[in-house]
Amino acid sequence: MKILVPVKRVVDFNVKVRVKADGTGVDIDNVKMSMNPFDEIAVEEAIRLKEAGSADEVIVVSVGVQQCQETLRTALAMGADRAILVKTDALVEPLAVAKILAKIAEEEGTNLVILGKQSIDDDCNQTGQMLAALIGRPQGTFASEVVVEDDKVTVIREVDGGLETISMSLPAIVTADLRLNEPRYASLPNIMKAKRKPLSEKMAEDYGVDLKPRHKIIAISEPVTREAGIKVADVTELVAKLKSVGAI
Q: How far is the CB of 74 from other proteins (least distance, A)?
A: 6
Burial class (CB in 10 A: 0-12, 13-18, 19+), 166: middle
Q: Could you say which of 136, 226, 244, 248 contacts other proteins (CB under 8 A)?
A: 226
CA 70 to CA 74: how far, in whole Å?
Answer: 6
Residue 66 binds other proteins, judged by CB under 8 A: no
Q: Could you tell me which stretch among 71-79, 101-109, 128-136, 216-224 binds other proteins (CB under 8 A)? A: 71-79
Q: Could you say which of 36, 54, 62, 74 contacts other proteins (CB under 8 A)?
A: 74
Q: Could you say which of 2, 50, 73, 157 contacts other proteins (CB under 8 A)?
A: 73
Q: Could you say which of 21, 219, 224, 228 contacts other proteins (CB under 8 A)?
A: 228
**1 vs 5, 45, 142, 197, CA distance in Å?**
13, 14, 22, 19
Total length of the chain: 248
Nearer to other proteins, 15 or 133 (CB): 15
Largest interatomic CA distance in the chain: 64
Q: Could you tell me which stretch among 17-25, 66-74, 87-95, 171-179 binds other proteins (CB under 8 A)? A: 66-74
Residue 196 binds other proteins, judged by CB under 8 A: no
CA 213 to CA 230: how far, in whole Å?
Answer: 45
